[in-house]
Chain A
């Protein structure tokens, strides 16, 4: 049924996203009255349960917020605690952290490209259905994903909730010879990543753009991952220490959810498209060539094309991992002792889905007295809903089934991680 003036679209359980979310679209009198991306996953209260824990514990505890990007949580937690304690890690340790993070980008981006996002473009319910018709493509994706996991396993001990990361560095660092077989696998993975860019570049991208302010870390001289200051396409630039002055959570009239906004400016978007737009010049030559060949311009403002950016960032992460391995020299010590001191520390790193901010306050015994975590998806929620509102408004001629499927695809463009966001967002379930 189309062209009804009053409609209610309800997707009660979004598929192929991380975590549990729902979408509600309400149409009244032929116009979109309300669009909500709902988070109904139960809250787990991490910020509350971190109080009273030792300053050495946040990397392990906050990793459990998200099984898909645990390294991001570990890296932001380490950065914030080390900031609070006035410690800067050895550059060789920082390089190993960047290598570990590359593993997570490869694993997470490839998961999203092949298993969550691509089936939409090709008309399949899942990658397993796609594999029935085009098995070599899915096998290539799984092999590339495996390469990312091999980095995580070698440096972290395991891919999900790595055990080898600690405040101040690592428990054990690899010998150069341990990295030889990894290097050989990554050389194969680089070809697979380049083939992935060519593959997704052939997809059809619906015509849709947004004008949100884009926000990402910048670290002149390299593509920012585990360090840098915060910058936006609107010209703002500030350090992680000032994050909470610029990013505020506001209540908005159409929903009971708190949305992150830039103070005095409004909604914004984080993630691969924001990183690419702000850091394109720092991609390695092979990644930049892949981006050019795929037709990515100076910026990326069509959310459907985010799959291209993820593919290009995967090329970059594999290439960067190879570079880090070539130059690897083990740090003199695997970790620095980080004696606690009273104070506040801030950390921000680029999770696969965008910037992830942590703040911790410590007392004189090294116990945490308060914690704040701002994950990427809660920062994107206002922009996602705004895009959906315009997206639905332009497609009211579609029947409910097709419109619902297209909205689901539109949500997956942002790779929302509801496991992450739910623990900090208010639940917007309408219980009336």
Chain B
């Protein structure tokens, strides 16, 4: 029924914390859809794209980057207060990013390596995901996020439905794409079995093993994956490095990085699926 009252145009805000800008750039990389999106939502706060900043609250906030300073701890709480729906975008926001490698090191030593006058640089000892500080409504994984998934989230939130973001592994996408398995065919190390889908199995399609930039899938099998990686010739240190790269602070990858031995592949389903008869 047309009541003659137009629904208010929803507002979108984009926020940046410690990051490379790549995930918010993904929005500007939607060249074919950007103007259509701008017709349907009011982009109220997006510093990379506009010098006009409108005060909140905002219907949807996209948050890029991880929390690495005391100021940013306060700022993310303010962003949460201003946002009806808060969506974290990318490996930094969802899993601390590559800068979370400091979590396994001495940040003061890191600071002195890069900066001649380390006392001028204020930083926390850790890089943490947004969800470690405030409630998050949806997460988009990836380093960077996938453009199609970003469009799905924006479209879904515009019409008021739940975004359809699959939680299975890259292996599923490989099969959907009819890729030849790089592990089976070439013995190439691959994190596909434990990595969250979303990229469309890009690396295996380029004859490269998945390097886990979308972070962990929901229920990874640590021992089976460790056995698989070691069978392809990776050392224990290589396995640790593989998990500790772009999704360093993801708890499942932290756990996986602690399991560097497992049964060799091909030892049978019993080893990896004990519940099967």
Contact = CB atoms under 8 A, between A and B. Distances in A.
Nearest to A418: B21
Contacts of B152: none
B206 interface: yes
B111 A45 contact: yes
A422 B260 CA distance: 35
A419 B208 contact: no
Contact of B102 (A16, A49, A128, A138): A49
A184 B5 CA distance: 47
Contact of B206 (A128, A143, A163, A256): A163
Given A47-B113, A128-B38, A61 B98 contact: yes
B143 A161 contact: yes
User: Chain A at the B interface: mostly helix, strand, loop or mixed?
Assistant: loop
A67 B97 CA distance: 13
B159 interface: no
A66 interface: yes
B247 to A, nearest CB: 12
Nearest to B145: A160
Interface stretch (B55-63, B119-127, B132-140, B268-276): B119-127
A44 B18 contact: yes
A16 B53 CA distance: 12
B34 A142 contact: yes
Nearest to A19: B21
Nearest to A60: B211
Contact of A427 (B28, B50, B109, B122): B122
A53 B144 CA distance: 21
B49 A13 contact: no
Interface residues of B, number: 65
Contacts, number: 187
A427 B105 contact: no
Contacts of A151: none
A149 B32 CA distance: 12
Given A48-B105, A49-B99, A426-B116, A64 B20 contact: yes
Contact of A159 (B29, B38, B52, B116): B29
A157 interface: yes
A146 B101 CA distance: 34
B31 A13 contact: no
B213 A160 contact: no
Nearest to B72: A42
A158 B146 CA distance: 9
Interface stretch (B161-169, B216-224, B238-246): B238-246
B47 interface: yes
Interface centre among A43, A54, A159, A256 (most CB of B within 10 A): A43
**Which of B105, B114, B116, B245 neighbours the largest number of chain A CB atoms within 10 Å of its CB?**
B114
Contacts of A61: 98, 245
B32 A146 contact: yes
Interface residues of A, number: 66
A142 B105 CA distance: 42
Nearest to B115: A426
Interface string A58-70: 0011001111101
Interface string A1-44: 00000000000011111111000000000000000000001111
A226 B22 CA distance: 22
A178 interface: no
B52 A125 contact: yes
Contacts of B113: 45, 47-48, 51
Contact of B28 (A42, A44, A115, A125): A115
Contacts of A67: 19-25, 144
A217 B121 CA distance: 32
A392 interface: no
Interface string A244-256: 0000010100001
24 contacts: A13-B47, A15-B48, A16-B49, A16-B50, A42-B72, A44-B97, A44-B98, A45-B99, A49-B98, A49-B101, A64-B97, A66-B20, A115-B28, A128-B34, A128-B50, A149-B31, A158-B202, A161-B22, A161-B143, A163-B206, A163-B208, A164-B208, A166-B208, A419-B20
Given A15-B51, A20-B47, 10 more contacts: A19-B21, A43-B111, A44-B97, A45-B102, A48-B113, A64-B97, A115-B49, A128-B34, A131-B35, A149-B29
Interface of B: 16-26, 28-29, 31-32, 34-35, 38, 43, 46-53, 68-69, 72, 97-99, 101-102, 105, 107, 109-111, 113-117, 120-123, 127, 143-144, 199, 202-203, 205-208, 211, 213, 238, 241, 245-246
